[in-house]
Amino acid sequence: MFHLARGLYNNWNKKEGLDNAVKSIYNPDAKIIPPERITTTVGQNVGHIQVNKTLLKFWDVGGQESLRSLWEEYFTHCHAIIFIVDSTDRERIEECQSNLTKIINNDSIESIPILMLANKQDVEDHLEVEDIKEIFNVIAEHLSARDSRVLPISAIKGDGLKECIDWLVIRLIRNKQNRPPRFK
């Protein structure tokens, strides 16, 4: 989870300005990047945030097709997966569904929580969370009893971010026995 979650966290940071939102909520003294300077993640990034007594390390792994083959390398180490969907990109929603299906069907992620974020909820003509849930219900049968959730966010504005992190921390603490933390 370490690299994948951190990578996804950085993906928020690079693509949509989530980094600024996280920094302002969890580390108010951090340097804020102007939204116009935020770019797509190429490769991976790593970041940390402290939430009460829990240190979260996120791996932001780029979503480009050429990088997707690397995702599986992170599964054995991850403790949760955050999958971000661009709510305004209706043309690629089926591609997102296909990629999440591949992730969920991987045996290495059994019993870990999966959080899907419907990003860009602040942009006009976005898919509503209910619409995205309906599209992804097709793969819900593969989740069995695993914790999973679809939540709305606006990475630029930071809307929904605290709720996402709170949901994630609760699941990570709850799942410590199945996937104990690794300290390095």
Structure tokens at 141: 């049968």
Cβ–Cβ under 8 Å, residues 5 and 56: yes
> How long a stretch of residues is the chain?
184
Q: Is 23 annotated as a binding residue?
A: no
Q: What amino acid occupies position 39?
A: T
Measured from the Cβ of residue 83, the count of other Cβ atoms closer than 10 Å reads 20
Q: Is 63 annotated as a binding residue?
A: yes
Q: Is 29 annotated as a binding residue?
A: no
CA–CA separation, 139 and 98 (whole Å): 9
Structure tokens at 94: 């089926």
What backbone phi and psi angles, to 5 degrees, belong to 41? -70, 130
Q: Is 64 annotated as a binding residue?
A: no
Nearest to 162 by CA among 151, 173, 172, 146: 151
Q: Which residues are annotated as a binding site?
A: 41, 63, 119-122
Q: Which residues are annotated as a binding site for GTP?
A: 63, 119-122
Q: Which residues are annotated as a binding site for Mg(2+)?
A: 41
